Amino acid sequence: MTGTDLTTQFDWHGPSTDPNDEQFGDVTEATTLTEAATYEAVVLGEPTDRAVIGRQGAQEGPSHLRSALNGTKTHHLTRGTVGPVGDLGDVRFSESADVPARQQTVATITEDVHALDARPVFLGGDNSLTYPNARPLLASGSLGIVSFDAHFDCRSGAPSSGTPYRQLFDDGLDAFAVVGARHFENTTTYAEYLDGRGTVVTAEEVGQDLRAAARTAIDAVADVEQLYVSLDLDVLDVTAAPGVSAPTPGGLTTRELYRLLGTIANDDRVAGFEVVECAPPLDRGDRTAVAGARAIAHVLSAWTTEDTT
């Protein structure tokens, strides 16, 4: 990998004029792979939507997620204040590169990112990059994934935003739980594929008993050494996240999502987190980007502060 594979453009600076308002823009700064050892967490942008099956727009996700996070305050009411965060910049994609080539571009970078002591937050971009984001972890021990998603994303065929977990299973993924799956959003063929391979926790189950839903997901990945957490923002109800490729009713509320993320991200085995399918051109008032940024804040608070709950 060379320095030209990454580009840093975002200017982190908390916009509040109150000196007591510490925001993520005040604790996040540009860094490099060689200088990232001082951080507990780093972010990496992946601006591409070449693999989206439905409506495009996720290419602009990283910039809007950063902008929304920039003005978010750093204080969690029970955990305390989030620590310093490094920003590695964005992956630079060749305009002519197809989906497999883009996955390979990301894979060469994420191998180095996962080698850092800092835990990564990947800012998507489309769901196809879950594959190269998580795949390097397979080389360092057993891996389980908790996917917050309305869909299973285990399609067969050419790589797309619908194939990442099929690709990971083909490469040896050990355990899988999808949380927030919705009726009438997944087909019989892929439900049968997951039967015996993964655990499905529906959005209804989350709404009925959130703690039980969290336990089911955690039990599904209890025997692995490492965890990777993926958030496709279409897991949220369309009222909370209209700016995604496939917005539908019946999804999780933001409050449900944040409680679940806080519980799972607090697990010491978590080696990485991603937010994908934020599509600003399809959004309403940056509602989806703000929801995604708050999700990132909850994960970072679990990683960089001491939980007093």
Q: Is 309 contained in some domain?
A: no
Band (270; pLDDT cuts 50, 70, 90):
very high
pLDDT at position 53 is 87
How are beta strands 80-81 and 75-76 bridged, if at all?
Answer: antiparallel
Mean pLDDT of 300-309: 75
Does residue 224 surpass a pLDDT of 50? yes
Q: Is 105 contained in some domain?
A: yes
The whole-chain average pLDDT of the chain stands at 95
Cβ proximity of 277 and 147 under 8 Å:
no
pLDDT at position 43 is 97
CATH assignment of the domain containing 22: 3.40.800.10
Does residue 304 surpass a pLDDT of 90? no
**Percent of the chain residues past pLDDT 70, beyond the cut:** 97
Mean pLDDT of 10-27: 95
Which of 76, 72, 125 lies closest to 102 in space, CA to CA?
A: 125
Find tokens 């920003």 and name the residue: 87
Which of 214, 134, 144 lies closest to 176 in space, CA to CA?
A: 144
**Residue-number span of the structural domain to which 130 is assigned:** 3-304
Before 125, cis peptide (omega within 30)? yes
Q: Is 48 contained in some domain?
A: yes
- Please list, in sequence order, all residues whose beta carbon lies within 8 angstroms of the beta carbon of residue 257, skipping any fewer than 6 positions away: 148, 180, 231, 235, 236, 291, 295
Work out the angle at residue 106's Cα, subtended by the Cα atoms of residues 36 and 176, and round it to the nearest 5 degrees: 95
The number of domains in the chain is 1
- How do residues 230-248 score in pLDDT, each as one tens digit? 999 999 999 999 999 999 9
Q: Is 123 contained in some domain?
A: yes
pLDDT at position 178 is 98
Q: Is 151 contained in some domain?
A: yes
pLDDT at position 1 is 43
34-54 burial string, b = 16+ CB within 10 Å, else e? eebeebbbbbbbbbbbbbbbe
Whole-prediction pTM: 0.96
Q: Is 7 contained in some domain?
A: yes
Q: Is 99 contained in some domain?
A: yes
Does residue 112 surpass a pLDDT of 70? yes
What distance in Å separates the CA atoms of residue 79 and residue 77, rounded to the nearest whole number? 6
| Residue scoring higher pLDDT (14 or 309) | 14
Does residue 4 surpass a pLDDT of 80? no
Find tokens 């360092």 and name the residue: 140
For residue 171, which amino acid is it? Answer: D
**Percent of the chain residues past pLDDT 90, beyond the cut:** 94
- How do residues 144-159 score in pLDDT, each as one tens digit? 999 999 999 999 999 9
Mean pLDDT of 278-283: 97
Band (48; pLDDT cuts 50, 70, 90):
very high
pLDDT at position 309 is 45
Does residue 21 surpass a pLDDT of 80? yes
Band (142; pLDDT cuts 50, 70, 90):
very high
Helices (H) and strands (E) in the chain, counts: 10, 12
Q: Is 8 contained in some domain?
A: yes
127-140 burial string, b = 16+ CB within 10 Å, else e? bbbbbbbbbbbbee
Mean pLDDT of 109-137: 96
pLDDT at position 3 is 44
What distance in Å separates the CA atoms of residue 82 and residue 73, rounded to the nearest whole number? 9
Band (307; pLDDT cuts 50, 70, 90):
low
